[in-house]
Amino acid sequence: MKLTWIDWTVVVGFIGFLAALAAYTKRYTKSVSDFLAADRCAGRYLLTMSEGMAGLGAASVIANFEKFYKAGFAASWWGLMLAPVGIIIALSGWVLYRYRETRAMTMAQFFEMRYSKKFRVYAGVLAWISGTINYGIFPSIIANFLIHFCGLPQHFDLFGISIWTFPVVMAVMLSIALFFTLSGGMIAVMITDFMQAQFTNIVFLIVMVVLFSKFSWSEITTTLENAPVGKSLVNPFDQANISDFNFYFFAIFAFKAFYNCLGWQGSQGYHCSAKSPHEAKMAKVLGEWRSGVTYLMLLLMPICAYVLMHAPEHAQVAHTTQQALDQITDAQVQKQMTVPVALSQIFPAGVLGLFCAAMISAAISTDDTYLHSWGSIFIQDVLLPFKKKPLTQKQHLKWLRLSIVGVAVFAFFFSLLFPLRDYLFMFFLLTGTIYLGGSGSVIIGGLYWRRATTQGAWAAMTVGWIVAVIGITLQVIWPKVPALLDIAEKFPLNGAWLALVAYLTSMTVFVVVSLLTCKEPFNLERMLHRGEYAIEGEHAGKPARGWRALGITSEFTLGDKIIYYFKLTWTGTWFFLFVGITLWALVWGVPDSFWNGWWGFKIALAGVIGVITIVWFLWGGIRDLLDLFRTLRGHQVNELDDGRVMD
Is pLDDT above 60 for 273? Answer: yes
pLDDT at 546: 55
Range among 232-241, 253-262, 410-419, 504-513 with highest mean pLDDT value: 504-513
Residue 506 binned pLDDT confidence (cut-offs 50, 70, 90)? very high
Same domain, 120 and 200: yes
Same domain, 337 and 269: yes
SS3 (DSSP) at 122: helix
DSSP secondary structure string for all residues of 206-241: HHHHHHHHHS-HHHHHHHHHTSPTT--SS-TTS-TT
Same domain, 474 and 373: no
pLDDT at 412: 95
pLDDT at 352: 92
Q: 599: Cβ–Cβ under 8 A, 6 or more apart, which residues?
A: 73, 221, 234
Same domain, 349 and 466: no
Angle between helix 495-517 and 247-259 (nearest 10): 30
Half-sphere exposure of 406 (CA within 13 A, CB side): 15
- Across 171-180, 302-311, 381-390, least confident range: 381-390
Please indicate, yes or no, if residue 457 is contained in any of the structural domains.
Answer: yes
pLDDT at 532: 80
Q: 340 and 65 in contact (C-beta within 8 Å)?
A: yes
Region 573-595: what's the mean pLDDT? 85
> Structurally, how many domains does the chain consist of?
2
Question: What is the rounded distance in angstroms from the CA atom of residue 89 to the CA atom of residue 86?
Answer: 5
SS3 (DSSP) at 157: strand
Same domain, 163 and 61: yes
SS3 (DSSP) at 273: coil
Q: What is the CATH number of the domain that holds 177?
A: 1.20.1730.10
Question: What is the rounded distance in angstroms from the CA atom of residue 199 to the CA atom of residue 503?
Answer: 37
* Dihedral angle of Cα 265, 266, 267, 268, to the nearest 10 degrees: 30
Same domain, 200 and 78: yes
Q: Quote the domain boundaries for residue 244.
A: 5-37+44-254+264-418+523-634
Q: b or e along 403-413 (b: 16 or more beta carbons within 10 Å of the residue's beta carbon)?
A: bbeebbeebbe
User: How far apart are the two ends of the chain, measured CA to CA in Å?
Assistant: 61
Domain final residue, candidates 503, 521, 539 = 521
Name the more confident of 424 and 227. Answer: 227
The total number of residues written for the chain in this structure? 647
pLDDT at 169: 93
DSSP secondary structure string for all residues of 74-104: HHHHHGGGHHHHHHHHHHHTTTHHHHHHHT-
Report which of 468, 14, 387, 80 is spatially closest to residue 250, judged by C-alpha positions: 80
pLDDT at 403: 94
Q: 74: Cβ–Cβ under 8 A, 6 or more apart, which residues?
A: 232, 233, 234, 235, 236, 238, 239, 595
Residue 179 binned pLDDT confidence (cut-offs 50, 70, 90)? very high
Please indicate, yes or no, if residue 90 is contained in any of the structural domains.
Answer: yes
pLDDT at 277: 81
The pair phi, psi for residue 158, each rounded to 5°, is -135, 115
pLDDT at 114: 93
Q: 563: Cβ–Cβ under 8 A, 6 or more apart, which residues?
A: 282, 285, 286
Residue 249 binned pLDDT confidence (cut-offs 50, 70, 90)? low
Q: 247 and 240 in contact (C-beta within 8 Å)?
A: no
pLDDT at 419: 61
Please indicate, yes or no, if residue 353 is contained in any of the structural domains.
Answer: yes
Region 505-528: what's the mean pLDDT? 93
The pair phi, psi for residue 162, each rounded to 5°, is -80, 125
Is pLDDT above 80 for 202? Answer: yes
Question: What is the rounded distance in angstroms from the CA atom of residue 210 to the CA atom of residue 221?
Answer: 17
SS3 (DSSP) at 274: strand
Please indicate, yes or no, if residue 645 is contained in any of the structural domains.
Answer: no
Question: What is the rounded distance in angstroms from the CA atom of residue 494 to the CA atom of residue 389?
Answer: 46
Is pLDDT above 90 for 560? Answer: no
Name the more confident of 450 and 547. Answer: 450
- Across 130-144, 285-299, 333-347, 555-569, least confident range: 285-299
Is pLDDT above 70 for 638? Answer: no
Neighbour-count burial of 558, counting CB atoms closer than 10 A to its CB (0-12 exposed, 13-18 middle, 19+ buried) = exposed
Residue 550: how many other CB atoms lie within 10 Å: 17
pLDDT at 565: 84
Region 86-102: what's the mean pLDDT? 81
Same domain, 236 and 337: yes
Residue 515 binned pLDDT confidence (cut-offs 50, 70, 90)? very high
Name the more confident of 229 and 527. Answer: 527
Question: What is the Cα Rg of the chain in Å?
Answer: 24
Name the more confident of 53 and 304. Answer: 304
Which CA distances in Å does 517 have to 454, 465, 513, 524? 9, 22, 6, 18
Q: b or e along 81-117 (b: 16 or more beta carbons within 10 Å of the residue's beta carbon)?
A: bbbbbbbbbbbbbbbbbbbbbbbbbbbbbbbbbbbee
Question: What is the rounded distance in angstroms from the CA atom of residue 466 to the CA atom of residue 178?
Answer: 33
DSSP bridge pairs for 268 = none
pLDDT at 246: 56
Which CA distances in Å does 416 have to 153, 164, 165, 359, 361? 17, 11, 12, 20, 22
Is pLDDT above 60 for 594? Answer: yes
Please indicate, yes or no, if residue 642 is contained in any of the structural domains.
Answer: no
- Across 416-430, 538-552, 587-601, least confident range: 538-552
Which CA distances in Å does 15 have to 6, 156, 180, 341, 495? 15, 23, 11, 23, 35
Element housing 476 (H / E): helix 454-477
Q: What percent of the chain has pLDDT over 90?
A: 20
Name the more confident of 410 and 144. Answer: 410
Question: What is the rounded distance in angstroms from the CA atom of residue 171 to the CA atom of residue 10?
Answer: 21
Please indicate, yes or no, if residue 332 is contained in any of the structural domains.
Answer: yes
pLDDT at 15: 93
The pair phi, psi for residue 349, each rounded to 5°, is -60, 145
pLDDT in tens, 212-225: 999 988 898 888 88
Mean pLDDT estimate for the chain: 83
Domain final residue, candidates 484, 504, 521 = 521
Residue 13 binned pLDDT confidence (cut-offs 50, 70, 90)? very high
DSSP bridge pairs for 158 = 161
Q: 234 and 65 in contact (C-beta within 8 Å)?
A: no
Neighbour-count burial of 310, counting CB atoms closer than 10 A to its CB (0-12 exposed, 13-18 middle, 19+ buried) = middle
Residue 434 binned pLDDT confidence (cut-offs 50, 70, 90)? confident
Is pLDDT above 90 for 518? Answer: yes
Q: 623: Cβ–Cβ under 8 A, 6 or more apart, which residues?
A: 43, 45
Residue 419: how many other CB atoms lie within 10 Å: 9
Same domain, 496 and 541: no
Which CA distances in Å does 635 have to 363, 419, 631, 638? 32, 48, 6, 9
Is pLDDT above 70 for 426? Answer: no
Please indicate, yes or no, if residue 641 is contained in any of the structural domains.
Answer: no
Please indicate, yes or no, if residue 368 is contained in any of the structural domains.
Answer: yes
Q: Can you give 390-444 as a three-state secondary structure string?
A: CCCHHHHHHHHHHHHHHHHHHHHHHHHHCCCCCCHHHHHHHHHHHHHHHHHHHHH
Q: 107 and 439 in contact (C-beta within 8 Å)?
A: yes
Q: 263 and 439 in contact (C-beta within 8 Å)?
A: yes
Region 561-569: what's the mean pLDDT? 84
Region 598-620: what's the mean pLDDT? 86
Same domain, 486 and 565: no
Q: 206 and 368 in contact (C-beta within 8 Å)?
A: no
Q: 187: Cβ–Cβ under 8 A, 6 or more apart, which residues?
A: 25, 28, 29, 34, 35, 38, 628, 632
8-state DSSP, 384: G
Report which of 494, 444, 451, 456 is spatially closest to residue 472, judged by C-alpha positions: 494
pLDDT at 547: 56
Report which of 268, 517, 533 is spatially closest to residue 378, judged by C-alpha positions: 268
Same domain, 472 and 404: no
Same domain, 330 and 478: no
Is pLDDT above 70 for 550? Answer: no
The pair phi, psi for residue 30, each rounded to 5°, is -110, -15
DSSP secondary structure string for all residues of 352-377: HHHHHHHHHHHHHHHHHHHHHHHHHH
Name the more confident of 194 and 425. Answer: 194
Domain final residue, candidates 521, 539, 568 = 521
Same domain, 527 and 500: no
Is pLDDT above 60 for 630? Answer: yes
Region 367-378: what's the mean pLDDT? 90
